[in-house]
Structure 1
């Protein structure tokens, strides 16, 4: 079993090599805007999973995730050869690519928080100038006695536990 620290170092180096190769060496136009965000290597150092995200050409345009996945699948052999040549380890790990969903989840959370802030602002606007209904102290009793308004001597003398 390999050292987990070594697996982390190897994963970091693999992500650097693959990111550099995608940017400078692979000439597939579908890979424009692809960013390697994270990588994980199994403890036996035989498999590496690389997480990627795709930046769209504009904010309104949705990136072509299927095209990027196909381009990465096509370039996997070349990228693995490049990783093997630069790492110098006995066994070159197999490469698998997975789309990183963290940016999508972060955008969704931002949208939900914006909706919650808008709802809070609407509620604050409605509450402004509002008064409580009824008296200021609704639990105040005019009589002398307990919460039910009974006097002490009207209680059942045998009931000493809970006052019922």
Structure 2
């Protein structure tokens, strides 16, 4: 059975934290408007590559997301340099950025559930009233 790689998870968590700080404080590109959140980081076993999943907190369409990912990809060398200065690991992984749409999916599901809840409560009240009427008639 494969051993769970605790070290990889710790390194990925540290990379996530450091990239979030770098994106918030040190990247000053006016084309990157709004807040960028690092959702997760996936590191390869040999620490050569890291997939960085980001979320843009403003509502954006597909074109703006692709444009922002392209900007982040072009700045990945600079981000990697800053990351290597803050982290004490032998080899800093090559970064590739991906959009994480789980936040948008969660918001959509939450909205759907909140729309269903009032109709469910109305149906539950109607069911209780019909059961109460049936018991009165007996």
Place the TM-score, normalised by the shorter chain, in its bin. 0.7 to 0.9
- Write the distance in 2 (CA, Å) between the matches of 1:125 and 1:9: 50
Equivalent residue of 1:50, what SS?
strand
Once the two structures are superposed, the pairs formed by residues 120-159 of structure 1 within 5 Å of their partners are 120-127=120-127, 129-130=129-130, 131-132=133-134
Contact 1:38 1:50 in 2 (8 A): yes
Unpaired runs of 5+ in structure 2? none
Distance 1:88 1:122, change over 3 A: same
- Aligned twin of 2:45: 43
Equivalent residue of 1:32, what SS?
coil
Unpaired runs of 5+ in structure 1? 57-61, 137-164
Q: What TM-score does the superposition give when structure 2 sets the normalisation length?
A: 0.77
Contact 1:36 1:52 in 2 (8 A): yes
Higher RCO structure, 1 or 2 (CA under 8 Å, sep 6+):
2
Distance 1:7 1:129, change over 3 A: closer
How many residues align structurally?
Answer: 128
Q: What TM-score does the superposition give when structure 1 sets the normalisation length?
A: 0.66
Q: Which has the higher helix share?
A: 2
Deviations 1:75-102 (A, max 9, x none): 1111112222332433221111122222
Distance 1:127 1:89, change over 3 A: closer
- Aligned twin of 2:7: 6
Distance 1:44 1:31, change over 3 A: farther
